[in-house]
Structure 1
């Protein structure tokens, strides 16, 4: 089994972050019981995390349960002179879930979520007509197999620590 040891974190930090990744609503008391780290230490570390490591507390949503059944990632190559305009245009789209700057022949990767495939197709067609877009490639997401798993296995870390 592959073991990840690339994180520039202390073991305590890794445990706390992993517990938060599993469940950000976990109490300090519960974290202390699980990790054997004093509550005051966890509290101080959490205060520091809010200054840099933790960007936002959020919920992972099953969008299909809300009626949004069409989801896709789109790779977009755009003329350099139009990249900022496209970025602003994409950012204004209410269906935009994620936007990344990427490489390897493309400039952006965007994830869109729509109620229907028809709505998505219509929007993707408008992207192709946007001034400066040279190429786009659409990847429809059929099924979500894993999401937000990195650094979320605190109990596994605890088992490794005991060895």
Structure 2
């Protein structure tokens, strides 16, 4: 995304109902986002909307196949200083 559009894109992602998580990242990309859609049509509409509004240079889409482990970091009493 062009530098001047990054803040607008971040705001768009924060407000979008299908975006579950959004992260600012590095190594050639600006954001990593996790989204949930009811069907592929919603995903396609979301992608088209992104491309039209923000002129995204490079985008990769991955589909979740299996949930192997969820975040458990803050469930560990040792990490929380309780052990």
> What's the secondary structure of 1:138's corresponding residue?
coil
Which protein is bigger by CA-based radius of gyration?
1
SS in 2 for 1:134: coil
Note if 1:135 corresponds to 2:58.
Answer: yes
Structure 1 position 122 matched with structure 2 position 45: yes
The answer to which structure, 1 or 2, has the higher relative contact order (CA under 8 A, 6+ apart) is 1
Deviation track 1:48-71 (CA, whole Å, cap 9, x = no partner) reads xxxxxxxxxxxxxxxxxxxxxxxx
Distance 2:69 2:58 in 1: 28
Question: Aligned to 2:34, which of 100, 103, 111?
Answer: 111
Residue in structure 2 matched with residue 79 of structure 1 by the alignment: 2
Q: Which has the higher strand share?
A: 1
Deviation readout 1:68-121 (Å, 9 max, x if unpaired): xxxxxxxxxx11111001111112211110010000100011111111122112
SS at match of 1:130: helix
Question: How many residue pairs are counted as aligned between the two chains?
Answer: 78
TM-score (norm 1): 0.43
Stretches of 4+ moved more than 6 A in 1? none
Gap runs ≥5 in structure 1: 1-77, 159-163
TM-score of the aligned structures, taking structure 2 as reference length: 0.79
Query: Pick from 135, 142, 147: which aligns with 2:70?
Result: 147
Q: Does 1:95 align with 2:14?
A: no
TM-align CA RMSD: 1.8
- Counterparts of 1:101 and 1:87 in 2: how far apart (Å)? 9
Shift of 1:145: 1.1
2:28 counterpart SS class: coil
* Structure with a larger share of its residues in helix: 1
